[in-house]
């Protein structure tokens, strides 16, 4: 129907337009109340809408920066925790070092060992610092190079053998034949006490003194373990892994503890320190020998291919895997053990001596071991003091990181790392085996210097922490200012919008009434036709 076909009075049309405007304003007010905003899109108010969006973008950027600052604070706290722990360990190391003062006078006796001869026979060999001495039943051999007299055949005397071997060692001039200049210092019964008498005494290792028994050759034999302790070495015809050429007793190796032996390193487990078990040790040594002597490559490395056949108690039965004869000289090492070689199944047994390496200064050696253990713990703490992959103490590779405060270049703080490992702090090495109190004091001075280094770095971190905390507070405050400014531009005043809605509802009611009144004048015309 054409609008021209409908004719409204001026009063009705005025009221209709008023009601339409009220409906539009009511819809707008309802939207403001529903969204809480008076500007919901650029169509509502472009200026305020885009200004608000810009401020919210800046606030979001500041929030991201504040998160980075929070991570920076945690990095510093992690480093500070590490520093605190390392400082405690350095204090312990200093205490250990101070305990060594007064114990250094006997340090040279650390470089000592003892060789005890038991049932020594002609042909048995004692190797000292690379020089081999062979037992002889011939008296004239006492003055022969590389030999020592042990008594007539059948009347061998271990005490005599020890005295003559000591003389042979000292007459050889090991200072030219052996770098450690190992000399016999005294003889007690069948035990020879040895010490390094080089210009700078050097520790005697298990490998510096070895024993090999000889006698009738045969394809079978036994190894009996007695009192073997951690670090003792047994060589079986240079069997074992080619890189090691010996089997070593251990009380600490995790792989050997778990499996009984560690074929990769030639270690066999003997039980915990102080509770060594020779039956366990024999079983594990036999298993290790079986694991390292059964391949063609090993047979090439050791032509006699001496293998473990069985074991019972603390004794291992051995045999040549390819039928070759071997002698007691094919079995050597350090520690308390006895090797017997049989000439056939019923042949006579030949026994050799017992070798033991005994540090004389247990107190000092224990203190040095404690010091070294503390340095290892310092290395671990330095390596574990990181946060989310960033480690400011970083061991040998400390990290450096920049904490950004703003979007512009250079608006940030660089955090430099340090090497807080024992190597980085300069405390990892013991000076001259603490041979004198001066050596100990040198290391104490290194500990003090390391502590000062950590204190200075901790102070630097504290200053940086204060700066980052202040900037974080500033960023958070600015974020709140921007968010408030953005809200002020676009948020609706719910009180005002509620009042508007109430007024619009009233106006709508009045408008409807007015429209009704306006229509009555038109309706009065109908009465003329009544």
Domain ranges of the chain: 1-36+492-518, 62-103+363-483, 108-218+327-360
**How far apart are alpha carbons 440 and 426 in whole angstroms?**
14
Helix ranges restricted to H, 148-195: 158-172, 174-177
Q: Which CATH number fits domain 62-103+363-483: 1.20.1330.10, 1.20.58.220, 1.10.10.10, 3.40.190.10?
A: 1.20.1330.10
In the DSSP assignment, the letter for residue 460 is H
408: helix, strand or coil: coil
In sequence order, the 6+-apart residues with CB closer than 8 A to the CB of 491 are 36, 37, 38
Distance CA 371, CA 385 (A): 21
Q: At residue 211, what are phi and psi to the nearest 5 degrees?
A: -130, 140
Beta bridge partners of 141: none
Distance CA 157, CA 3 (A): 143
One digit per residue, pLDDT tens: the chain, 530 residues? 455 566 666 767 777 777 778 777 787 777 877 777 878 877 777 888 888 888 888 888 878 888 888 888 888 899 999 999 999 999 999 998 888 887 654 444 445 667 777 777 787 777 777 788 888 999 888 888 889 999 998 888 889 988 998 888 888 755 444 556 778 888 888 888 777 776 666 666 555 666 655 444 456 667 777 777 777 777 776 444 343 446 788 888 888 888 888 887 778 898 988 888 888 988 998 888 877 754 433 433 455 667 777 778 877 777 776 666 665 556 655 455 555 544 333 223 333 444 444 444 456 666 777 888 888 889 888 888 888 888 888 866 667 788 888 777 778 888 888 899 888 899 887 776 676 788 888 999 999 999 999 999 999 989 988 998 888 888 888 888 888 887 777 777 778 777 777 877 777 777 777 767 666 766 666 666 65
Segments in 330-392 forming alpha helices (H): 362-383
Give the SS3 label for residue 247.
Answer: strand
Q: For residue 434, give the nearest of 356, 504, 370 by alpha carbon.
A: 370
Helices (H) and strands (E) in the chain, counts: 11, 19
CA-based end-to-end distance of the chain: 28
Alpha carbon of 365 to those of 108, 110, 345, 362, 430: distances in Å? 11, 8, 46, 5, 12
Please tell me the distance from the alpha carbon of residue 207 to that of residue 235, in angstroms, as a whole number.
Answer: 10
pTM: 0.47
- Nearest CA among 74, 70, 165 for reference residue 115: 165
């Amino acid at each position: 129907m054409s609008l021209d076909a409908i004719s409204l009075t001026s009063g009705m049309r005025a009221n209709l337009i008023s009601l339409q405007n009220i409906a539009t304003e009511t819809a707008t007010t309802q939207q403001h109340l529903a969204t809480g905003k008076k500007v919901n899109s650029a169509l509502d108010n472009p200026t305020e809408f885009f200004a608000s969006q810009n401020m919210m973008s800046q606030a979001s950027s500041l929030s991201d920066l504040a998160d980075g600052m929070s991570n920076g604070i945690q990095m510093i706290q992690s480093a500070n925790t590490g520093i605190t722990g390392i400082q405690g360990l350095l204090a312990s190391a200093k205490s250990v070092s101070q305990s060594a003062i007064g114990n250094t006078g006997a340090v040279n006796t650390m470089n000592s060992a003892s060789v005890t001869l038991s049932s020594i026979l002609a042909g048995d060999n004692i190797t000292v610092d690379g020089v081999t001495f062979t037992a002889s039943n011939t008296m004239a051999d006492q003055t022969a190079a590389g030999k020592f007299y042990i008594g007539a055949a059948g009347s061998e005397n271990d005490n005599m053998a020890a005295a003559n071997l000591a003389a042979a060692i000292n007459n050889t001039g090991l200072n030219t034949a052996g770098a450690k200049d190992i000399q016999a210092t005294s003889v007690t019964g069948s035990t020879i006490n040895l010490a390094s008498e080089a210009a700078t005494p050097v520790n005697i290792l298990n490998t510096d003194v070895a024993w090999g028994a000889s006698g009738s050759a045969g394809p079978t034999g036994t190894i009996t373990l007695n009192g073997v302790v951690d670090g003792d070495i047994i060589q079986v015809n240079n069997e074992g892994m080619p890189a090691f050429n010996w089997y070593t007793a251990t009380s600490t190796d995790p792989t050997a503890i778990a499996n009984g032996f560690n074929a990769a390193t030639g270690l066999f487990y003997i039980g915990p320190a102080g509770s060594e078990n020779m039956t366990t040790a024999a079983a594990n040594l036999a298993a290790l020998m079986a694991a390292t002597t059964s391949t063609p490559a090993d047979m090439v490395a050791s032509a006699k291919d001496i293998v473990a056949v069985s074991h019972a108690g603390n004794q291992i039965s051995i045999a040549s895997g390819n039928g070759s004869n071997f002698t007691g000289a094919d079995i050597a090492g350090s520690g308390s053990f006895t090797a017997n070689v049989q000439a056939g199944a019923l042949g006579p047994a030949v026994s050799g001596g017992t070798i033991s390496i005994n540090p004389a200064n247990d107190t000092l050696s224990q203190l040095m071991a404690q010091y070294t253990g503390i340095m290892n713990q310092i290395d671990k703490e330095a390596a574990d003091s990181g946060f989310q992959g960033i480690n400011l103490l970083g061991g040998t590779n400390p990290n450096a990181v920049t904490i950004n405060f703003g979007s512009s270049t250079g608006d940030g703080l660089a955090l430099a790392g340090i090497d807080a490992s024992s190597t980085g702090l300069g405390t990892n090495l013991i000076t001259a085996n603490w041979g004198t109190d001066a050596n100990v004091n040198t290391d104490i001075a290194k500990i003090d210097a390391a502590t000062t280094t950590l204190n200075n770095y901790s102070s630097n971190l504290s200053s940086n922490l204060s700066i980052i905390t202040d900037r974080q507070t500033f960023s958070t405050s600015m974020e709140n200012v921007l968010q408030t400014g953005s809200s002020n531009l676009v948020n609706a005043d719910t009180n005002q919008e509620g009042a508007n809605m109430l007024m619009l509802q009233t106006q709508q009611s009045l408008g409807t009434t007015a429209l009704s009144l306006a229509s009555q004048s038109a309706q009065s015309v109908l009465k003329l036709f009544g």
